[in-house]
């Protein structure tokens, strides 16, 4: 039987895990919503990548900074690409009503980040299982 202190500790860790997962879901839901809206209703143009990019390797990808023009005004943005850029010219998807909201076509999306949420669930489950087994 667990002592009251152990129960409080278990409740604390479970609550912290649920809070962490909730924050991840909210962050990535926003990313999913924005990405889906751009993919479904966004306009496309050709943009150029800056000369340098950050190679994060697996599973991070390649962080690139890009520029594109809409109605004579230059906009910049940052995207994480799944593969190494092969050309400086890329297709940019942007919100016609707010061109500052944009990304490189083929950049990471919501489903790529689901791996992080799944890993959080697995870790929380393993920690909870080990703690339960040790307190039996």
What's the whole-number mean pLDDT along residues 12-40? 75
Structure tokens given for 61: 């990808």
Give me the pLDDT at residue 19, please.
83
Q: Are 63 and 116 in contact (CB under 8 A)?
A: no
Does position 34 have pLDDT exceeding 80, yes or no?
no
Bridge partner residues of 54 (DSSP): 63
What's the whole-number mean pLDDT along residues 5-13? 79
- Strand 89-95 to strand 61-70: parallel, antiparallel, or no bridges (unpaired)? unpaired
Distance of alpha carbon 53 from alpha carbon 79, whole angstroms: 10
83-125 residue pLDDT tens: 777 888 888 888 888 888 888 887 765 555 667 777 777 787 7
Does position 73 have pLDDT exceeding 90, yes or no?
yes
40-54 residue pLDDT tens: 666 778 888 875 655
Distance of alpha carbon 79 from alpha carbon 63, whole angstroms: 6
Does position 26 have pLDDT exceeding 70, yes or no?
yes
Bridge partner residues of 1 (DSSP): none
- Work out the percent of the chain whose per-residue pLDDT is above 70: 75
Q: Which long-range contacts (CB under 8 A, 24 or more apart) does 52-60 make?
A: 53/85, 55/84, 56/80, 59/112, 59/115
Q: Are 93 and 41 in contact (CB under 8 A)?
A: no
Give me the pLDDT at residue 101, please.
83
**How many C-beta atoms surround the C-beta of residue 82 within 10 A?**
12
Give me the pLDDT at residue 75, please.
93
pLDDT band per the 50, 70, 90 thresholds, residue 134: confident
Bridge partner residues of 78 (DSSP): 65
Give me the pLDDT at residue 52, please.
60
Task: Kindly report the length of the chain.
Answer: 136
Distance of alpha carbon 83 from alpha carbon 57, whole angstroms: 9
């Amino acid at each position: 039987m667990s002592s009251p202190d152990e129960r409080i500790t278990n409740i604390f860790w479970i609550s912290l895990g649920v809070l962490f997962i909730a924050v991840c879901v909210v962050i990535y839901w926003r990313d999913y919503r924005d990405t889906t809206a751009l993919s479904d209703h966004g306009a496309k143009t050709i943009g150029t990548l800056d000369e340098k990019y950050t190679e994060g390797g697996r599973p991070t990808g390649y962080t690139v900074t890009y520029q594109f023009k809409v109605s004579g005004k230059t906009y910049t943005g940052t995207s994480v690409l799944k593969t190494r850029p092969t050309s400086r010219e890329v297709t940019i998807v942007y919100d016609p009503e707010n061109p500052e909201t944009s990304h490189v076509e083929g950049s990471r999306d919501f489903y790529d980040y689901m791996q992080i949420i799944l890993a959080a669930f697995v870790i929380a489950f393993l920690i909870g299982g080990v703690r339960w087994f040790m307190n039996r």
